[in-house]
Amino acid sequence: MTTQAVAPAFPAVPIRIPVREILPWAVFTVLLGLIAVYFVGAEQGAFALFDNMYIHEFAHDGRHLLAFPCH
């Protein structure tokens, strides 16, 4: 039995992504994370942006899961 070695069509070259292409996505991701932490951890507390309790009740179980005190 004979085997043939087949060379790949393209050489394996690592892809380099410039920082200026990653930076906007990184900033966007961090901003979304901070907004999520705010709404889960601080909304309806000392720094409430909304007067009603809808955000608090929506994120209530998430607060307890992430060990944020809320009552």
Q: Does residue 24 form part of some domain? A: yes
Domain interval for residue 38: 19-65
Q: Does residue 42 form part of some domain? A: yes
Q: Does residue 70 form part of some domain? A: no
Tell me the two tokens of residue 52: 């009603």
Q: Does residue 6 form part of some domain? A: no
pTM: 0.56
Report the distance separating Cα 24 and Cα 56, nearest Å: 30
Q: How many domains does the chain have?
A: 1
pLDDT in tens, the chain (71 residues): 667 777 667 777 888 888 899 999 999 999 999 988 877 777 665 666 767 777 777 777 777 887 877 66
Report the distance separating Cα 42 and Cα 21, nearest Å: 32
